[in-house]
Amino acid sequence: MPGTTTDGQVSTFTVGRVAFLKAELGITDAQKSEWVAYAEKIKGNLQNMQGMWQTMKTVFDAKTPADRLDAQIAAMDSRLASLKEIRPALSKLYAALSSEQKKKADEVLTSMRCMM
């Protein structure tokens, strides 16, 4: 899963994705603080998702159905917590966008590929 490198550094994929979203939305200097807060949450989310994939690998190694379910629950709990952390930054960013930017955000930030 892209997000971080093996030494915990943010991957090129993550940096590229954040740059793509910034360019697509046309973030202005006036929106910089909201953007930076949101971008940091995206980076953290990608790191969290990498951890979630590691947790999900334990599902395949689990010996019993209860163990597999426990691993799935742990992964979902982690994902839910990550999404809850992103929500305030996303709300602030969205509120700072122009009408045209909001239309674009509705397209690029709601897809599953946005890594929210």
pLDDT tens-digit series, residues 20-72: 999 999 999 999 999 999 999 988 887 777 766 676 677 677 789 898 888 88
Average pLDDT over residues 6-24: 78
Alpha helices (H) in 1-116, listed in sequence order? 12-25, 32-61, 65-96, 99-108
Tokens 């839910």, residue located:
80
Whole-model pTM? 0.75
Give domain limits for the chain: 12-114
Q: Helices H, strands E: what count in the chain? A: 4, 0
Query: What does the block give as tokens for 101?
Result: 């930017």
